[in-house]
Structure 1
Amino acid sequence: MTVRLYVDEDALDSDLVSALRARGVDVITAREASLIEQKDEVHLEYATRQGRALFSFNVGDFYRLHTGFLRGGKSHAGIILARQQRYSVGEQMRRLLKLVVTKSAEEMSNQVEYLSAWD
């Protein structure tokens, strides 16, 4: 199964979402899910229920949530993290596309991927 994405409010950029969708990536945003200003755990739980890998710039908090989920016997559909303002929208899109075509949804399960590794 192909990786589907959930973009949290920290990483939300309408140009990025439009570009990914134009290239066939299944993406939903925090705004579309009515989850603006919700706790990080709510975002990860929503993405998990939807079978979507979460994309965020909130590196520290989501890595801690990943660790807590696994320690607590909970699973998630994957987390993709990037440092804020490190990549242009075009670079984010290129790296996300490379990840999505390389990894399956099953391979993303309970994994954290850093966008920096997908150049």
Structure 2
Amino acid sequence: MTIFAQIYIDEDVDILVATLLIARGLDATTARQQKTLGELDPQQLSFAASMGRCMLTHNRLDFEKLHTSYVLNNQTHAGIIIAKRRNPYEIAERVAMLLDTLTADEIANQLLYI
């Protein structure tokens, strides 16, 4: 069982969120750090899944469709967290609360909203 989910932050989320999560002792990385800026959403999710990282994004419509496609095709991912656009401190707080509540295994293959 994996306790804490590792987060991969899409390029549309402020990189300050990663800094704030890391300051809380959580494992977070960004599209910028992974040199995946400009990749299409399917590639972003595939990359996150290949690393066993939960995807954090603001892009609700595209990632809802991708999640549905994964489910229908029996593909797995480490979870998708869709965050409403808020200030980075509030997003980081909500992500941290979610990760304190659910294990990585409970987040896997789920579509969650914060």
Query: TM tier, shorter chain?
Result: over 0.9
Deviation at 1:83, TM superposition (A): 2.4
CA RMSD of superposed structures (Å): 0.9
Identical amino acids, percent of aligned pairs = 35
The answer to whether residue 68 in structure 2 is matched with residue 41 in structure 1 is: no
The total of aligned residue pairs comes to 112
Deviation at 1:32, TM superposition (A): 1.1
User: What is the TM-score of this pair, normalised by structure 1?
Assistant: 0.90
Aligned counterpart, 1:102:
101
Unaligned runs of 5+ in 2: none
The answer to whether residue 75 in structure 2 is matched with residue 74 in structure 1 is: yes
Cα distance in 2, alignment partners of residues 40 and 14 from structure 1: 17
Cα distance in 2, alignment partners of residues 14 and 29 from structure 1: 7
Aligned counterpart, 1:60:
61
User: What is the TM-score of this pair, normalised by structure 2?
Assistant: 0.94
Unaligned runs of 5+ in 1: none
Cα distance in 1, alignment partners of residues 16 and 57 from structure 2: 15
Cα distance in 2, alignment partners of residues 19 and 47 from structure 1: 20
Post-superposition Cα deviations, 1:52-83, rounded to whole Å, max 9, x if no partner, equal 10000000000100000110111110000022
Which residue identity lines up with residue 9 of structure 1 in the other structure? Answer: E
Cα distance in 1, alignment partners of residues 93 and 84 from structure 2: 15
